[in-house]
Amino acid sequence: MALVKVLYHGHCFDGFSSAAVFTRFYRECIDSSAEFTYEGMRHGAPVPVDVTRFDGDVNAIVDFRYSPGSNLDWWFDHHKSSFLNADERANFDQRRNEQHFWDPTAPSCCGFIARTLSLKHGFDLSPISELIDWADEIDSAQFPDAKTAVELVDPALQLMTVVQFIGDGELANQVIEGLSSGEVLETAELNEIQSRFAPIKARFDDGMVRLKKMQSVQGDVFYADLTGGTHVPYNKFAPYYLHPELTYVVVLSQSDDRVKISVGSNPWRAEHRRHNIAEICEQYGGGGHPVVGGITLPDITADDARRICREIVETLQN
């Protein structure tokens, strides 16, 4: 019986959904008797994926950066910054591995995996169509308005919120298994999910208060420095809820082990975008997508992080 190790983008609805879709595919099309183990990956300092993590009989990475490791059997990603350097990109191009796939234009990695495997292996998408639709909407921020993304009334959006705070373990595995069955609503309504959602939403509401207190709006660019004091999470769409006229948002935050700069663009003012955010973040060791990205700085002072934020804000204003 083969052990399939799935490394996925942790703390991310698209990462969980990608792991779920790959699991369903592998059981249906490759090996129905396979056992699965999962490990969430976290974007941090720009370092290669640790190849010792490839300890399954079959190893897959979904919704996370590339690895040239010889034991990586399957790879799917849709981030523009999937490759740490030109050598990794050259390795990907030269290997032409028929089980390695990359499309930085895909709205979600979950949807990219599903459609790719349907085309190449005849994978039936009908039982997971709802999951694919939600992953595409969530990861590309195709919500009808900021109110929907901030007030989080729909159970699927509540699940999206909770998985941001779930680490590896029994609940993460339960979510992946539930989603692999196409049970989005049923998974969202699990007691373990709903009991966690209410306090997270309350903390998000506190985070919006702090955003309002620390905000600075310069033209159509929003900036907030949330370092110092107790770490308070915030809904990344809250600035657009507060200021619909914004085009860009830069937020500096700090947790116990890292400083993070989050950079985003307003999904409801796409026509006003002027910059590729992934390219901006890559200049400082981060990455992401053309419309959203981030920089994680584990070994930097808050003052240096603020300097980087000022430079990014200045770039976005042009």
Give tens-digit pLDDT for 140-174: 999 999 999 999 999 999 999 999 999 999 999 99
Beta carbons within 8 Å of 296's beta carbon, 6+ residues apart:
43, 44, 45, 258, 259, 260, 286
Read off the DSSP letter of residue 2. P
Q: How far is Cα of residue 197 from the mean position of the Cα atoms in its chain?
A: 19
Residue 18 pairs with which residues in a beta bridge? none
Report the top-level CATH class of 216-317: alpha beta
The residue extents of the domains of the chain are: 3-189, 216-317
Instruction: Tell me: pLDDT of 83 over 80.
Output: yes
CA distances from 170 to 23, 36, 166, 175, 239 (A): 16, 13, 10, 9, 34
- What fold, for 3-189? inorganic pyrophosphatase (n-terminal core) (3.90.1640)
- Determine the pLDDT at residue 64: 97
| Percent of the chain predicted with pLDDT > 70 | 100
Same CATH topology for 3-189 and 216-317: the answer is no
**Residue 242: pLDDT over 90:** yes
CA distance 45 to 311: 20
| Percent helix, strand and coil across the chain, each to the nearest 5 | 45, 20, 35
